[in-house]
Amino acid sequence: MTEQLYIKDLLTLQMVWEKPLTKEKALKVKQEWLDDLFGNLEQVITTNVGFYKALYYWLESEIKDKTLGDILIQYMPFFQNYGDYVSGYDKAIYTFEKMMKQPALQKWFSNIQANEPLAKGLNFDAFLIKPVQRVPRYKLFIDRLLKCTPQDDPDFPKLPAALEKCDKIAHVINSAKEKQIQREFMSKIAEKIDCGNELLMIPGRSFVKDIQIDKITRKSKRQPRHLFLFTDVLMVATDTLTERCVVQVKLQLKGSEVKDLPDDVENGFLNRFQFLSYPKSLELAAASKEEKDKWMELLLARIQEADKSLGSKIKVIPMFEPDAKVKRCPICSEKFTAVFRKHHCRQCRRVVCGNCTKHKRKLPSQSEGERKKRVCDDCWKHDEHWTPEGATSDAPYVSSSDEE
């Protein structure tokens, strides 16, 4: 009986993983992690044990005072417990991945999978997902039963009501399954991206699209980049000799802007557009006009969705002014030469001379521990948030650490 096998899997999840993790003090598993991982598993087990007993007694009874439909209608409301389990499943997987970054826990879970007979060689999340898959199977069973039951059978009038109740619960489960498909896809994406110490898979984040594209530096050089667009961020990565990309920067979508740029025929940069964000802004060049239009439309749509979310918007970082466009320092008006060189103010992003950029200060876009950045005399007269009118030019941006 499949219900009996299912309950065995639930008990395995509880006995092989939950209880040992609770008792194994050396692993230092936090109670909040256990709550995230197993949620209301105990309630789910209690519900299904009761359901199984009712089915077993009904099948074994010679005198049946109830129909199968009666039992299904009676127990369907109890399966509301699955809603709590499924809604917490996303967080459970997130917590599990976080725990697996600890060598001691990773070794413990691998040992269970390899040596515990009840695990049947399966990993932890193969058991964790079973309750998520269960209610849709009940719905399929009742639907098939209804189609096979004659209209004059005592069960026939009861089955539609049972199916309706199950359908409501299955609706919640199906939406969670869609998230699971996205999670599996995210896992494949995670294999391609090296995010360092930052977690890629967080609750609510979904993958949208990726593209190979050129970033244009302020010195008019191409730098190949791999963009990964998610529902909340744009990750800018560089390809390596291995199959994994290394993320250079993560840009928030909320509050960001996308600007169209004319073709720069002189330098051979066609299909240009800007992505203005925080802590960086970029000029990009797509391979074709169709690709550019598609990505601008996609980015704008995702930004609009992100802007609907809670929280304050970012202040986008201005673009660096390109070296080639500036012949004189805008502050002292001295002409630039091979000796009298150009520099960039890291606050307003303008091209200025060395004499007019002798001040340094900590800027809002810097992370803790970074050195103070060079700022011009104009910016020094104001606070760190000031930028002169027109500083956000249609010019490419690179950070002080970017290649030029």
Per-residue pLDDT tens digits for 80-128: 888 888 888 888 998 999 999 899 999 999 999 999 999 999 999 999 9
**Does the pLDDT at position 183 exceed 90?**
no
The reply to whether 177 and 49 lie within a common domain is: yes
Residue 6 pLDDT exceeds 90 = yes
* Count of Cβ atoms closer than 10 Å to residue 203 Cβ: 10
Domain boundary among 251, 284, 307: 307
How many Å apart are CA 351 and CA 333, to the nearest integer?
A: 12
* 32-83 per-position pLDDT tens digit: 999 999 999 999 999 999 999 999 999 888 777 888 989 999 998 889 888 8
217-246 pLDDT tens trace: 877 889 999 999 999 999 999 998 888 899
User: What's the mean pLDDT in 294-317?
Assistant: 83
CA distances from 57 to 5, 33, 54, 66, 153 (A): 17, 38, 5, 11, 20
Confidence (pLDDT) at 391: 52
Cα Rg of the chain, angstroms: 30
- Same domain, yes or no: 40 and 121: yes
179 inside domain: yes
- Asked if residue 374 and residue 270 are part of one domain, the reply reads no
pLDDT at 311 (0 to 100): 64
pLDDT for 129: 92
Indicate which CATH number applies to the domain containing 217.
2.30.29.30
Tell me what pLDDT residue 332 has.
Answer: 94
Same domain, 25 and 106: yes
* pLDDT value of position 295: 96
Q: Write out pLDDT tens, residues 326-382.
A: 899 999 999 999 899 999 898 888 899 999 999 999 887 776 677 888 999 999 999
Of the two residues 312 and 19, the one the predictor is more confident about is: 19
Confidence label for 313 from pLDDT (cuts 50, 70 and 90): low
**Residue 310 confidence class, pLDDT cut points 50, 70, 90:** low
Same domain? 403 vs 375? yes
Query: What's the pLDDT band for 400 if we cut at 50, 70, 90?
Result: very low
Kindly list the distances between the CA atom of residue 244 and the CA atoms of 184, 187, 195, 239, 241, in Å, as whole numbers in the listed order: 18, 13, 10, 7, 8
The residue behind tokens 């127990």 is: 75
Q: Tell whether 65 and 157 lie within a shared domain.
A: yes
230 and 300 share one domain? yes
What residues contact residue 157 under an 8 Å CB cut-off, 6+ apart? Answer: 69
Write out the residue range of the structural domain in which residue 225 sits: 207-307
> What is the C-alpha to C-alpha distance for residues 106 and 137, in angstroms, rounded to an integer?
32
Task: Please state the pTM of the whole predicted model.
Answer: 0.53
- 37 vs 95: CA distance, rounded Å: 7
Hey, what amino acid is at 386?
W
Q: Domain boundary at 249, 279, 307, which?
A: 307
What is the average pLDDT value for the chain, to the nearest integer? Answer: 87
The total number of structural domains that make up the chain: 3
Statement to judge: residues 93 and 21 lie in one domain = yes
Domain boundary among 255, 284, 307: 307
pLDDT surpassing 60 at residue 293: yes
- 3-class state of residue 272 by DSSP: strand
Tell whether 68 is covered by a domain: yes
Question: What pLDDT sits at residue 396?
Answer: 33
335 and 404 fall within a common domain:
yes
Eight-state DSSP code of residue 285? E
**Looking at the structure, do residues 219 and 163 belong to the same domain, yes or no?**
no
Residue type, 235: M
pLDDT for position 238: 94
For residue 25, give the amino acid letter.
Answer: K
Residue 397 has pLDDT above 60, yes or no: no
Kindly tell me the burial class for residue 324, based on how many C-beta atoms sit within 10 Å of its own C-beta (0-12, 13-18, 19 or more): middle
- Residue 323 and residue 279 share a domain: no
**Inside any domain, residue 199:** no
pLDDT of residue 392: 46
Q: Are residues 159 and 275 in the same domain?
A: no
The residues that bridge with 281 in the sheet, in sequence order, are 276
Q: What's the farthest any 2 CA atoms get from each other in the chain?
A: 104
**CATH number, residue 330:** 3.30.40.10
Q: What percent of the chain has pLDDT over 70?
A: 93
